[in-house]
Structure 1
Amino acid sequence: MSKAVIEFTDFSFTYRAQQEPTLRGINLSIREGEKVLIVGPSGSGKSTLAHCINGLIPFYYPGETAGSLRIMGQEQQEQSIAALSQTVGTVLQDPDGQFVGLTVGEDIAFVLENAAVPLQEMKERVTAAARAAGIGDLLSASPQELSGGQKQKTMLAGVLAGNVDILLFDEPLASLDPFTGTRTIEHIDRLQRETGKTVIIIEHRLEEVLHRPVDRIIIMNDGVIACDLPPAELLSSGLLAGTGLREPLYLTALRYAGVAVTPDLQPQHPELIRLEGAAQRLEQWVDGYREQSGPAEAVPLLELKEVTFGYERETAVLDKLSLTVNRGEMLAIAGRNGAGKSTVSKLICGFYKPSSGSIWLNGRDIGRDTIKERAERIGFVMQNPNHMLSKTLLYDEVAFGLKLRDVPEELIRERVHGVLRICGLHAFREWPISALSYGQKKRVTIASILVLEPEIIILDEPTAGQDYRHYNEMMEFLRGLSSRGITVIMITHDMHLMLEYAQRAIVLADGKKAGDDRPERILTDRSIVEKANLRETSLYTLALRAGLQQPEELVRTFIAFDREVRRR
């Protein structure tokens, strides 16, 4: 039997600024060569657990510990953070925060330079690590010029060059398009099988991680380990829903159709699941369900007319792009990294000017409007929350826009508290922003725009770093805004979000519009999926496996039925 490389025994940790422990009585053993997935709602303690493993606690985040944590047989607190970094390699959810070199090669070599590795050996190890990570041809490139997937691979190569025993991935899919995320999971799986290293993945997107097998899934909740089971047992247990986590959509569809999900069905992947007897129930469910309401009347609000734009004169990011956004619509804009999704939002807000073409709002060309004038009607929430935050305290950040508009203090307090409750942040209203997690900071930036009640709100990756409960609360709130006539535009890689909440999806590829239709039609059109680096939904895979004559009907039925269930 393989040896334990990480051992928590009755372990607790309390941050210096807090009175109550964030981790309580943790007992956990991870063995050499295991591949473990850790999930849990925001604030459950999973990131704190990761910081204990890689040494950021207590060396960067001070606090009080109790119990024992042994890494490779040694007490963690008896090792320096430098020694721990030679054992545990960490790939963070925000790659930009880890870059130190001017080129990919320099960045990979950083750990070796600190260890005074001889130059020739350093070159060989850097080349080997880059090749293993799939970026052997990018050693001379600038990290800032890379795509999201390439940045993740650069971080991975950096930890591989150090020849660590344990690879720790903190939300590796957060900034990646669906196709690149799938390839990342495949890459992590291949490395783990070829090297035998211990792999720990912390991720909200459970279904995407299970694209490749894991040995165990650990659920954290309220600072304790709520569950530690093999995937088939966990997915059959109902424990995910009990802790506010999302189960894979194909399993939810089976349950809606009256199929009992048990470990014998091999529920951990839609390509593996046994469907004897289930296909007929799925077909009966699809045939017997009728959507309660049809689409609302479309009233155009925002129009892009043959817009062309490039950051460099010779290269067009967008090429004569035309699209229409309707009043009160919830619209998703999807596509691969670098397809121009975020560029569209910045053009709408006035951060950039089109090279040609025009943008119209309420039937008027807004090409001459300033950024400030557009901001009165269009709110924009950036992908990286750290790019938007300017205040020390959470309450002051959310109230800032209202104070600039000279809103009376009493009304500011009422609107800020209301939005903080909706965004799941009311309990943290007096906290410093620096003490919040990445996901909580994301909700702060959304709250700071929602409180202004704009005519259009554009959200760049609104669900990045959000657990299922806060995701639902946020999106239901946005849907409420939509029902009152506010238009919501979501720039997203999250196919679940697109299916569940978008009334329409526009897909970009190579600077052009590759698709404009209902989400279930987009995600069952293989040509669009492949062109735009999307991923066919597991519902579609389930329908094909079950032999349904019209697979897209299962997707449509699930979306409508699930909306009704969540409304109830």
Structure 2
Amino acid sequence: MRKPVIEFTNFSFHYRTQSAPTLSGINLIIYEGEKILIIGPSGSGKSTLGHCINGLVPFFYPGEISGSLKIFGKETKKESIFKLSSMVGTVLQDPDAQFIGLTAAEDIAFKLENQCVPQEELFESVNRVADLVDMTGHLDSTPQDLSGGQKQRITLAGSMIDNVNILLFDEPLANLDPATGKMAIELIDRIHKQTGKTTIIIEHRLEDVLHGEVDRIVIIDEGCILANLTPNELLSSNLLIDTGIREPLYLTALRYAGCTITPMLKPKSLKTLNIEVNKTKLHAWYESVGYAEKKQKNDVLLELKNIHFGYSKTKEIIKDVSFKINKGELLSLIGKNGAGKSTLAKLICGFYLPTAGEILYEGENLIEQSIKERGDHIGFVLQNPNQMISQNFIFDEVALGLKFRGVADKDIKDKVFHALKICGLYELRNWPISALSFGQKKRVTIASVLVLLILLDEPTAGQDYKHYNEIMEFLWNLNQQGITIIMITHDMHLMLEYTNRAIVISEGQKIREDEPANILADEDVIRLANLKETSLYQLAKKADFFDQRDFVKRFIHFDRRTRQL
């Protein structure tokens, strides 16, 4: 008989600062050794559910609890957060927010040091968990020496050091490149199989998590449990579509082809999917879908010529990078964590100066221009809009940059209104920023830097499917009005769906510049840049399509046209 380890019974939680409960009437049992995935739209309450399990609610985030939540039979509201941390180990989406030690070994050992564990036992425990996460060779490394994926492994080791029985991962893939995300899921899978620990993953990226094994998927929507099903059961239903969660792309392709998805097809992954019964329908659909190649734009707006840069004289970060950006392009800048993508963006904006090479804007060298002067042509939008916003009201935020540029007061109002109209915010011009959604805040930051060339760092990271579409359709429409956009992204489908060209950076060098579909068909580039094939490409292989790249292009074209109807 399975042993319950987490039991929600008619559980509700109401933050003190909210007008309505975030969680309502939750009934959920998680059993010993299970691996559970919790998904839901942004604001659905899934992260709050995780905070209830690890004790952040109510001990860090105060509010009113009703009902019962028991972990190993103990009522959590009667326990301390210290006691709960000895039962539940948490790995956050941002490993930097959890890194405490000056070295990896110190960070792993932190819990045991606070418990005054003898040194010999402490060393033994650190080596044991470091081996479990394949980080034995990095124990002396400092945080700045580690990649995002390595930091995550160290954080995981620190969470397991005192032998917790429950592991909770809060959006572990949010900041990882495609290949590192895949390795993270494989690591979680391996740890689960080796240790038998109850494992809970909260994540937007459903398809990526299903690269590993999952026992059940729980959908949270508007603070309630909408579904609690096995992967095969859930993927055979319309619940994901109805809730606004992106289903795996290979299933979308099968649905477009008129295939009926049932649990018997084992749709939880491409590895298990029975494609044989649907090959004929898939090939017939492919033949019926047209595809028109988009015309390339050839008027050069920005050019990098032989750019070199290093934070110190002894270590070069950017190595002889050259490329051109054409007017009106929507282009992706891709590569693994730490490849140099963000550094290139900062060089273009003037935050850093290259040690060699030229940056030309409409043929004029920008090297002598200040950040302020470049801001008249080039805007940079951070991943998190809250890090850019400094004013209380929309109008004031968009007007701020114009004031700094010395625009006359009589002209500011017209320019602000023009930017707000382009960004679809004119009707909200007098609103306080605190009343806006994340996506609307993103629009405000873009409106405040609305120039001919905009660089965006991970525009859709951490967004559910609804907000992903909202942001990307906004950027697409902005691009159609002549704004040139460069996106730094780890989202391979975003790259395929919205951009005509991608530049791949690896170890500070440009290794490929091509159409996205061609890049994701190049195994060497995929390996060097930590990319991965999309499931569409893998589906085309499994269904014996001769030209897998053309299958992907036709799907992208059809999918976009269908969603716009």
Same fold (TM over 0.5): yes
Question: What's the secondary structure of 1:182's corresponding residue?
Answer: helix
User: Alpha-carbon deviation of 1:400?
Assistant: 4.6
Give the structure 2 partner of residue 298 of structure 1. Answer: 298
Give, in whole Å, the separation in 2 of the partners of 1:54 and 1:557. Answer: 45
Shift in alpha-carbon separation, 1:398–1:228, aligned structure 2, 3 A = farther
Give, in whole Å, the separation in 1 of the partners of 2:526 and 2:233. Answer: 32
Shift in alpha-carbon separation, 1:274–1:395, aligned structure 2, 3 A = farther
Question: What's the secondary structure of 1:137's corresponding residue?
Answer: helix
Give the structure 2 partner of residue 483 of structure 1. Answer: 480
Question: What's the secondary structure of 2:276's corresponding residue?
Answer: coil
Shift in alpha-carbon separation, 1:399–1:60, aligned structure 2, 3 A = farther
Pair 1:350 & 2:350 matched: yes
Do the aligned partners of 2:423 and 2:478 also contact (CA within 8 Å) in 1?
A: no
Identity within the alignment, %: 53
Shift in alpha-carbon separation, 1:386–1:256, aligned structure 2, 3 A = same
Shift in alpha-carbon separation, 1:20–1:537, aligned structure 2, 3 A = same
Give the structure 2 partner of residue 536 of structure 1. Answer: 533
Residues 18-56 of structure 1: CA deviation (Å, up to 9, x unaligned): 121111111111111111111111111111111111111
Q: Of the candidates 524, 533, 540, which is equivalent to residue 521 of structure 2?
A: 524
- Tell which deviates more after alignment, 524-533 or 403-412: 403-412
Shift in alpha-carbon separation, 1:322–1:369, aligned structure 2, 3 A = same
What is the one-letter code of the residue matched to 1:187?
Answer: L
Give the structure 2 partner of residue 468 of structure 1. Answer: 465
User: Alpha-carbon deviation of 1:312?
Assistant: 2.4
Give the structure 1 partner of residue 335 of structure 2. Answer: 335
Give the structure 1 partner of residue 282 of structure 2. Answer: 282
User: Alpha-carbon deviation of 1:166?
Assistant: 0.8
Q: Of the candidates 504, 507, 510, which is equivalent to residue 507 of structure 1?
A: 504
Do the aligned partners of 1:417 and 1:426 also contact (CA within 8 Å) in 2?
A: no
Which structure 2 segments of 5+ residues have no match?
Answer: none
Question: What's the secondary structure of 2:244's corresponding residue?
Answer: coil
What is the one-letter code of the residue matched to 1:537?
Answer: T
Question: What's the secondary structure of 1:261's corresponding residue?
Answer: coil
Shift in alpha-carbon separation, 1:418–1:226, aligned structure 2, 3 A = farther
Do the aligned partners of 2:91 and 2:170 also contact (CA within 8 Å) in 1?
A: yes
Question: How do 1:391-406 residues align onto structure 2 when only pairs under 5 Å count?
Answer: 400-401=400-401, 404=404
User: Alpha-carbon deviation of 1:250?
Assistant: 0.7
Give, in whole Å, the separation in 1 of the partners of 2:374 and 2:341. Answer: 19
Give the structure 2 partner of residue 208 of structure 1. Answer: 208
Pair 1:551 & 2:548 matched: yes
User: Alpha-carbon deviation of 1:466?
Assistant: 0.6
Shift in alpha-carbon separation, 1:486–1:115, aligned structure 2, 3 A = same
Pair 1:268 & 2:268 matched: yes
Give, in whole Å, the separation in 1 of the partners of 2:433 and 2:120. Answer: 50
- Tell which deviates more after alignment, 280-289 or 95-104: 280-289
Pair 1:453 & 2:443 matched: no
What is the one-letter code of the residue matched to 2:267?
Answer: P
Question: What's the secondary structure of 1:485's corresponding residue?
Answer: coil
User: Alpha-carbon deviation of 1:392?
Assistant: 6.7
Do the aligned partners of 2:377 and 2:453 also contact (CA within 8 Å) in 1?
A: yes
Shift in alpha-carbon separation, 1:525–1:315, aligned structure 2, 3 A = same
Do the aligned partners of 2:394 and 2:429 also contact (CA within 8 Å) in 1?
A: no
User: Alpha-carbon deviation of 1:384?
Assistant: 5.1
Shift in alpha-carbon separation, 1:167–1:393, aligned structure 2, 3 A = farther
What is the one-letter code of the residue matched to 2:231?
Answer: P
User: Alpha-carbon deviation of 1:413?
Assistant: 7.5
Shift in alpha-carbon separation, 1:397–1:143, aligned structure 2, 3 A = farther
Give the structure 2 partner of residue 79 of structure 1. Answer: 79
Question: How do 1:89-128 residues align onto structure 2 when only pairs under 5 Å count?
Answer: 89-128=89-128
Question: What's the secondary structure of 1:77's corresponding residue?
Answer: helix
- Tell which deviates more after alignment, 271-280 or 176-185: 271-280
Do the aligned partners of 2:389 and 2:445 also contact (CA within 8 Å) in 1?
A: no
Which structure 1 segments of 5+ residues have no match?
Answer: none
Give, in whole Å, the separation in 2 of the partners of 1:428 and 1:134. Answer: 53
Give the structure 2 partner of residue 46 of structure 1. Answer: 46
Give, in whole Å, the separation in 2 of the partners of 1:381 and 1:359. Answer: 20
User: Alpha-carbon deviation of 1:393?
Assistant: 7.5
What is the one-letter code of the residue matched to 2:234?
Answer: L
Residues 489-534 of structure 1: CA deviation (Å, up to 9, x unaligned): 1111111111111111111123222211111111112121112110
Alignment RMSD, CA only?
Answer: 2.4
Do the aligned partners of 1:308 and 1:317 also contact (CA within 8 Å) in 2?
A: yes
User: Alpha-carbon deviation of 1:223?
Assistant: 0.9
Give, in whole Å, the separation in 2 of the partners of 1:529 and 1:429. Answer: 45
Residues 393-434 of structure 1: CA deviation (Å, up to 9, x unaligned): 888666654565657569758966985869xx979964759x
What is the one-letter code of the residue matched to 2:114?
Answer: N
Runs ≥4 residues deviating over 6 A: 392-396, 425-428
User: Alpha-carbon deviation of 1:471?
Assistant: 0.6
Give the structure 2 partner of residue 159 of structure 1. Answer: 159
Shift in alpha-carbon separation, 1:242–1:454, aligned structure 2, 3 A = same
- Tell which deviates more after alignment, 171-180 or 409-418: 409-418
Question: What's the secondary structure of 1:237's corresponding residue?
Answer: coil
Question: What's the secondary structure of 1:277's corresponding residue?
Answer: helix
User: Alpha-carbon deviation of 1:191?
Assistant: 0.2
Residues 204-252 of structure 1: CA deviation (Å, up to 9, x unaligned): 1111110011011111111111111100111110111101110111111
Give, in whole Å, the separation in 1 of the partners of 2:421 and 2:13. Answer: 30
Residues 102-121 of structure 1: CA deviation (Å, up to 9, x unaligned): 11111111111122212211
